[in-house]
């Protein structure tokens, strides 16, 4: 099968087109013919070797943890899905190697959900990792509830734009943090105010909500966001375990987990028109290096996706 992978850690020049054996299917596994693969910052971080201390790597390493495609084969213990079903999956396993920049990927059935019917394969491929991250951070870790206020950093990016929509849908009041160029975009997603990423974010939030917000969602590791949180509030980070201890603010850290049931719920929200995936650009699989270049530049609005097969 065709895949894009690396034989050693390094720069974008290490990405090459490979002809690899098809992945095996576990008894409880699902083999997916990948139509589109979402691109996430973790893809180039793992290409650089930054995940090496945490996960075993099997070379050649094929990056990519997001897939949308069609079930090709199921293991003998799988009853939930059958060949031909259109699915999505967040494909992070206990090792790094057999990723989704490939024509076929195998994952445990528990990672897989039905593709939203109203989404293209490309839109659907942009959903799993970012939507599960936002969902688990806001509702599982920070316990956000209706009527609360939440500050979302990097609100125009993949995770942030999903978090804004999910929080608004849950009845929370959202303040986004973004560059001036993305202000209108974040307002259109449902935030009631946007503060400029280049200013003093906590001071700007305190002008809007003097007592501080209930929850801050820290996407890039800016602990000054904790200053925008009320006493007794929560700050959840996906950058690193926060050390925020100066006040009565509860810190937590999320590393997104595969979860097919949660993904099914997120796909339903998509089909109900309550969650949208905006695509910045769809590139052919062969242009994975260009996709990494765009992601590494740090100005992605919505999602980058690779078209893998027809
Ligand atoms: N722990 C986890 O499980 C987990 C899961 C998913 C993602 N992540 C991490 O979360 C981060 C965001 O992921 P993503 O998919 O949302 O990325 P993304 O789509 O590439 O986000 C890009 C947006 O973030 C903003 N941004 C970029 N650099 C920033 C910085 N240093 N400070 C503040 N804002 C910045 C920019 O918007 P503006 O120009 O408007 O500021 C840009 O449009 C990445 O580092 C990723 O690895 C962690």
Q: Tens digits of per-residue pLDDT, 172-215?
A: 999 999 999 999 999 999 999 999 999 999 999 999 999 999 99
Is residue 88 assigned to a domain?
yes
Whether the CB of 50 sits within 6 Å of ligand 1: no
| Per-residue model confidence (pLDDT) at position 246 | 67
Mean pLDDT of 77-92: 98
pLDDT classification of 243: cutoffs 50, 70, 90: confident
Q: Do 156 and 202 reside in the same domain of the chain?
A: yes
Cβ-Cβ contacts under 8 Å for 247 (sequence gap 6 or more): 226, 229, 231
| Per-residue model confidence (pLDDT) at position 127 | 98
| Residue finishing a domain among 211, 237, 253 | 253
| Per-residue model confidence (pLDDT) at position 191 | 98
Q: Do 237 and 288 reside in the same domain of the chain?
A: no
Q: Do 52 and 138 reside in the same domain of the chain?
A: no
Is residue 244 over pLDDT 80? no
With 0-12 / 13-18 / 19 or more C-beta atoms within 10 angstroms meaning exposed / middle / buried, residue 162 is: buried
Whether the CB of 157 sits within 6 Å of ligand 1: yes
Q: Do 134 and 120 reside in the same domain of the chain?
A: no
Tell me what percent of the residues of the chain surpass a pLDDT of 70: 99
Q: Do 110 and 153 reside in the same domain of the chain?
A: no
Q: Tens digits of per-residue pLDDT, 125-149?
A: 999 999 999 999 999 999 999 999 9
Q: Do 55 and 84 reside in the same domain of the chain?
A: yes
Distance from residue 219's CA to the centre of ligand 1 (Å): 6
Q: Do 23 and 112 reside in the same domain of the chain?
A: yes
Q: For the chain, what is the domain count?
A: 2
Is residue 271 assigned to a domain?
no
Is residue 269 assigned to a domain?
no
Whether the CB of 256 sits within 6 Å of ligand 1: yes
Whether the CB of 219 sits within 6 Å of ligand 1: yes
Is residue 260 over pLDDT 70? yes
CATH of the domain at 216: 3.90.180.10
Is residue 245 over pLDDT 90? no
Q: Do 103 and 177 reside in the same domain of the chain?
A: no
Q: Tens digits of per-residue pLDDT, 214-226?
A: 999 999 998 789 9
Whether the CB of 160 sits within 6 Å of ligand 1: yes
Q: Tens digits of per-residue pLDDT, 152-166?
A: 999 999 999 999 999
Q: Do 240 and 183 reside in the same domain of the chain?
A: yes
Q: Domain of 163? A: 130-253
Pocket test residue of 39, 41, 129 for ligand 1, highest count of atoms within 8 A of CB:
41
Q: Do 79 and 149 reside in the same domain of the chain?
A: no
Is residue 62 assigned to a domain?
yes
Distance from residue 104's CA to the centre of ligand 1 (Å): 28
Is residue 259 assigned to a domain?
no
Is residue 187 assigned to a domain?
yes
User: In Å, how far are 24, 178, 255 from 292, measured between CA atoms?
Assistant: 28, 21, 21
Q: Do 94 and 11 reside in the same domain of the chain?
A: yes
| Total Cβ atoms within 10 A of residue 207 | 10
Is residue 266 assigned to a domain?
no
Distance from residue 305's CA to the centre of ligand 1 (Å): 16
Is residue 272 assigned to a domain?
no
Q: Do 153 and 107 reside in the same domain of the chain?
A: no
Pocket test residue of 45, 136, 154 for ligand 1, highest count of atoms within 8 A of CB:
154
Whether the CB of 178 sits within 6 Å of ligand 1: yes
């Amino acid at each position: 099968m065709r895949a894009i992978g690396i034989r050693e850690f390094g720069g974008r020049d290490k990405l090459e087109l490979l002809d690899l054996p098809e992945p095996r299917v576990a008894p409880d596994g699902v083999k997916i013919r990948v139509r589109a693969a979402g691109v996430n910052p973790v893809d180039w971080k793992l290409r650089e070797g930054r995940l090496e201390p945490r996960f075993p790597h099997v070379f050649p390493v094929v990056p990519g943890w997001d897939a949308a495609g069609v079930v090709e084969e199921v293991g003998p213990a799988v009853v939930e899905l059958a060949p031909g079903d259109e699915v999505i999956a967040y494909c992070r396993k206990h090792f790094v190697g057999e990723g989704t920049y490939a024509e076929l990927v195998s994952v445990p059935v528990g990672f897989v959900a039905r593709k939203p019917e109203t989404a293209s394969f490309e839109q659907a491929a942009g959903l799993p990792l970012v939507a599960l991250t936002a969902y688990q951070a806001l509702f599982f870790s920070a316990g956000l509830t209706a009527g609360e206020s939440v500050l979302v950093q990097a609100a125009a990016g993949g995770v942030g734009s999903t978090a804004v929509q999910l929080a608004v849908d849950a009845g929370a009041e959202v303040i986004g943090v973004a560059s001036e160029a993305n202000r209108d975009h974040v307002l259109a997603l449902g935030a009631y105010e946007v503060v400029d990423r280049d200013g003093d974010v906590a001071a700007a939030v305190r002008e809007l909500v003097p007592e501080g917000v209930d929850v801050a969602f820290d996407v890039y590791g800016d602990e000054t966001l904790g200053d925008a949180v009320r006493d007794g509030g929560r700050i959840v980070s996906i950058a690193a375990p926060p050390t925020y201890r100066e006040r009565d603010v509860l810190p937590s850290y999320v590393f997104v987990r595969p979860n097919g049931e949660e993904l099914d719920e997120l796909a339903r929200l998509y089909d109900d028109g309550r969650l949208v995936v905006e695509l910045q650009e769809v590139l052919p699989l062969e242009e994975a290096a260009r996709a990494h270049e765009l992601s590494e530049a740090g100005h992605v609005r919505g999602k980058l996706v690779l078209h893998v097969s027809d």
